[in-house]
Structure 1
Amino acid sequence: MAEQAPWVPEDVNTEVPSAARVYDWLLGGYHDFPVGRAVGERVLQVLPDGRKVATSNRAFLRRACNT
């Protein structure tokens, strides 16, 4: 495994994509890795509005959790 960023726990395999980190990337976050970005790019090829879907989902979660 490659050297990890200081914020990454030692037991996290950065070579395996994570749905949470792909979601983070789609939202414009920075807690992601190259393998997750590659998956995110593929998602956008299949679902061009993928970023809009993620943003809409986040907005829904904020509304649902703030009631």
Structure 2
Amino acid sequence: MIFKVLYQEHASEIPVRENTHRLYYEAENERQVRSELKDRNINIEFIQPLEGEHLAYEKQSEDFKVENV
């Protein structure tokens, strides 16, 4: 499954919409995403599973690159 991860670049950063970044990650579940990203020192705001039409919409973005385990 592909997940959209919204995050701040530094773990100590307070979430501010204008500074929020996103990445797309392929994993079995949200727990696996968090486990794989824990060493990156980022502040994860939200992890959203993508499927169906929502995934198709996200794929249209030029920034759409999926990272995987």
| Same fold flag (TM > 0.5) | no
Which of structures 1 and 2 has the bigger CA Rg?
A: 1
Relative to its length, the structure with more strand (as a share) is 2
Higher percent of residues as helix: 1
